[in-house]
Structure 1
Amino acid sequence: MKDQTSNSWEQRDMHNVFHGFTDLDTLNRNGPVVLTHGEGIHVFDVHGKSYMDANSGLWNNVAGFNHRGIIEALCDQARRFPGYHAFFGRIADTTVALSEKLIEISPFPSGKVYYTNSGSEANDTVVKMLWMLHRRNGQPQRRKIISRVNAYHGVTVATASMTGKAYNAEFGLPLPGFLHADCPHFWRFGRAGETEIEFSQRLARNLEELIIKEGPDTIAGMFAEPVQGAGGVIPPSEGYFEAIRPILRKYGIPLIADEVITGFGRTGAMWGSDKYNVQPDAIVASKCITAGYFPMGAVLLGPDLCAALTAVSEKAEEFPHGFTAGGNPLGSAVALKALEVLETEGLLENVNRLSGRFMSGLRQLGEHKYAGEARGVGFMGAVELVADKATKVALDGSYQISERIANKALEKGLICRPLGQAIVLGPPFVMTEVEMDRMFAILADTMTEVFAEVGL
């Protein structure tokens, strides 16, 4: 139990902060963790306790929590030109330079970048781009958005409607016109005797049936994460994107790759789209773009979608949408430096060098009696816990098993994330072999203790 005296940081939090995505039973029982600073991949609370953050903050602090070069880039930009907008044809030089860099490293031969403050805003922006595009092209009925079960695309009203998670029913979402295709999770949804390729082909047929049922001329676009992150780290089944891409092209439906989590190296490739041959029409990026040092989101428009959107915006005289801090010069300077660090300081190489060790550690956890599947790619992985390996039947929800494991790990100085009945890991790209081994050792001990405590 943390310090709960009347003037403690924990009590000040409890009196004044309303937490999102937080198990309130745990919060009320244990109190919050109030942090003061970070060093490398560790963060420190107000009592001086150190925690290894095995989730990179929220997937994003990939260069650690005190990278001197990124901090200096932020300070230098603040002294020179700390803030401006990107409206009315005015923009900071640093933001232009970042745009050049993003298109250079993107899968696209050319294109343009639109800036937001978060991944949610970036996905929401693309929805409006598609709606405007179709409306101006004489197809105002093309408003339906396809995403997938277990998808996560954000928390705005539109992106929460795209997010295929049950908790959005709390808000009366999804809105009409937001459709959810199959989740490409072969372990969970594959049929007996079905190969992974056959599973992907079945999902593609189901997608085409959904499009035909709804009417191809009513579909504005489809959004897909190369790897479903907040759905529990679900890599696509073999051949999935190769199977669905021709169908979307057949009906003229743009494919938007939500790379908020997978972009900039998380999968071991610069883009998840490269890793899984997505071939998107646009990419949504955030999180790692600034290594977590500044809030920023971006929409990377491929050449065809960029040309089409530019044409209709010219007819309307403008693209009537924007955010005051979109393309902020501070964020742009941080992003330029973060991308430089990723490319020149060995971060991407480290992900690839240690990804085998990471997957091996996951597989060892997967040998636990109550581990159903250990899955992942690059530096993102999950262990899904079940009551029975053979049947894949879920554990009784009353155990709150993943929450218990995350809480016990926190006591031991390890931050990991419970997602449904899975434990998710997404370590910083600067993690060392020693740190990785320690992460898995703590988690293995924690799982053993927790299952013993609940009598399993």
Structure 2
Amino acid sequence: MRSIKNSFPSEEDHNLLREADAKHLLHPWADLSTLGEQNTLMIQNAKGVYVYDSTGKKYLDAIGGMWCVTLGYGHEELIEAMAEQAKTMAYYTPFGDVSSSPSAQLAQMLAELTPGDLNRAHFTTCGSTAVDSAVRTAHYYYACQGRASKRHVLSRRNAYHGSTYLAASLCGKLADRTLFQYESDFIHHLSSPEYDPDIAEESADSRLQSLLDEMESEIARLGAENVACFIAEPILASGGVLVPPPGYQAATREICRKHDILYISDEVVTGFGRLGHFFASETHFGIVPDMIISAKGITSGYQPLGVVMISDRICETMSAHAPVDKSVFSNGYTYSGHPIACATAIKNIEIMKRDKICEHVQEVGPYFIDKLRSLVDSPIVYTVRGDHLMACVECWTGNETGPTARNMALAQRVDEYCEQNGLLVRPYENLCIMSPPLIVEKSDIDRIISIFSQALNRAQSDLDSGRLD
């Protein structure tokens, strides 16, 4: 196939691209039942909050790529930072006693942004590898103190933590558990902690207490002396933007502290401005965890990069107690602290501070959620939930709740009508998930609501007339 360099290829080249995609690509989360037959949407160009397919059609990207394109597409300063670092030094090994100025500078910047004593950065390649590294750090921390039995990990149902073997095993989304193998010996899933006051049949206090009782019970069953860590997204993102009851994060943090269990806050989605703060753990939820995981928005999606921010206490303990013959921290990746990725993250942080991106999210985020909540008047909207610029609209046929076949078909129809009218949302089961770039303006939000409302009306008409079946 010849190289296609034009922004928008000819019709012939457009067809060739789709043929090549269908024949040679295995996409993440691909439907294998249609392998080789998929009618792929080929995104060819992007600017600001908009993307364009290979025919030139324009879409408002209400999912920010995949939670990650925070500063929007085509940001010249980010592009220049990438290019300048590539000209200076594209790559050198990060292993052992070798480093680069971008990774050292970024580590210091992150230490200044994270709460408490989370002052040590361990760079990885993405959120999944950062999750792996955080859990492995917890295991090393206890093993070097002679407590290797403290290895069990608590996660939650509906959680998403990545797709490496360990990270996928930590995930609690049943829909993602197919025919792969998953670790079950030392990983345990607590109940999904969501609480939606609009549809709840119990009080927030009652829900919170039952979740805490369950956590205490599971720790007692396993033995606190055997539990290494608890990993938690402050808000469960890919699981459906599930918001726990007020006080959940602080209460689970206290349980972990009481039982000497490390608390790992997975801020791959909630960090870097999505909730109006660089990190949401302390400022939004009132906790200082033992480790924070970040990725996605750390580079605004322009480069793959992940990081585990680790407390000084953990690092100093590992340094002091590791046996001489086992003192190597044998975890890391060829591209850990990649100079171009770190240079991009540095520029991303500088722009966010200068342009007051977090303050902008604090202004437009409540507006976004308020406008979305107006959609609950639709008969096919079961509920709307979210926080600032992460939100979910849950669809239903009116007779059954949850991801039933008809509810999922209805949500898929909503997604299709949104796409037809130039809006991209993320369909998952019977949910329509949205996480627009952080630079989104109120006028963009109004456009999102207008198109989404039209899609709901069309899908409802299909349901009422029997065209959904």
TM-score category of the 2 structures, normalised to the smaller one: over 0.9
Query: Which residue number in structure 2 is paired with residue 31 of structure 1?
Result: 39
Choose which of 132, 145, 156 in structure 2 pairs with 1:137. Answer: 145
Give the CA deviation at 1:366: 2.1
1:43, 1:24 → 2: CA distance? Answer: 27
The 1:136/1:61 distance shift into structure 2, 3 A limit, reads same
One-letter amino acid of the structure 2 residue matched with residue 385 of structure 1: C
Give the CA deviation at 1:94: 1.2
SS in 1 for 2:66: helix
1:339, 1:205 → 2: CA distance? Answer: 40
User: Do the aligned residues in 2 keep the contact of 1:146 with 1:222 (CA within 8 Å)?
Assistant: yes
2:298, 2:182 → 1: CA distance? Answer: 29
Choose which of 333, 351, 367 in structure 1 pairs with 2:361. Answer: 351
Query: Which residue number in structure 1 is paired with residue 350 of structure 2?
Result: 340
Which segment drifts farther, 202-211 or 443-452? 443-452
Which segment drifts farther, 307-316 or 110-119? 307-316
The 1:309/1:236 distance shift into structure 2, 3 A limit, reads farther
SS in 2 for 1:455: helix
SS in 2 for 1:310: helix
Query: Which residue number in structure 2 is paired with residue 320 of structure 1?
Result: 330
The two structures have a TM-score, normalised by structure 1, of: 0.94
Give the CA deviation at 1:300: 0.2
SS in 1 for 2:52: strand
Give the CA deviation at 1:129: 1.2
**Superposed CA offset, 1:62-111 (max 9, x none):** 11110111111111111111112211211101110000000001112452
Give the CA deviation at 1:313: 4.7
Contiguous gaps of at least 5 residues in structure 2:
1-9
Matched, 1:182 2:191: yes
Give the CA deviation at 1:59: 0.6
Choose which of 122, 139, 143 in structure 1 pairs with 2:130. Answer: 122
Give the CA deviation at 1:372: 1.7
Choose which of 262, 265, 270 in structure 2 pairs with 1:257. Answer: 265
2:124, 2:52 → 1: CA distance? Answer: 30
Give the CA deviation at 1:306: 2.4
The 1:25/1:344 distance shift into structure 2, 3 A limit, reads farther
SS in 2 for 1:255: strand
User: Do the aligned residues in 2 keep the contact of 1:385 with 1:395 (CA within 8 Å)?
Assistant: no
Query: Which residue number in structure 1 is paired with residue 105 of structure 2?
Result: 97
The 1:312/1:371 distance shift into structure 2, 3 A limit, reads farther
**Superposed CA offset, 1:199-231 (max 9, x none):** 112211110000001111111100000111001
Which segment drifts farther, 172-181 or 4-13? 4-13
Give the CA deviation at 1:26: 7.8
2:40, 2:328 → 1: CA distance? Answer: 46
The 1:401/1:27 distance shift into structure 2, 3 A limit, reads farther
Contiguous gaps of at least 5 residues in structure 1:
none
2:301, 2:422 → 1: CA distance? Answer: 21
Query: Which residue number in structure 2 is paired with residue 66 of structure 1?
Result: 74
The 1:3/1:198 distance shift into structure 2, 3 A limit, reads farther
Choose which of 165, 171, 188 in structure 2 pairs with 1:163. Answer: 171
1:305, 1:173 → 2: CA distance? Answer: 28
The 1:326/1:394 distance shift into structure 2, 3 A limit, reads closer
Give the CA deviation at 1:252: 0.4
2:453, 2:199 → 1: CA distance? Answer: 28
1:405, 1:173 → 2: CA distance? Answer: 33
Query: Which residue number in structure 1 is paired with residue 120 of structure 2?
Result: 112
The two structures have a TM-score, normalised by structure 2, of: 0.91
Matched, 1:307 2:316: yes
User: Do the aligned residues in 2 keep the contact of 1:313 with 1:319 (CA within 8 Å)?
Assistant: no
Choose which of 285, 288, 292 in structure 2 pairs with 1:283. Answer: 292
The 1:110/1:183 distance shift into structure 2, 3 A limit, reads closer
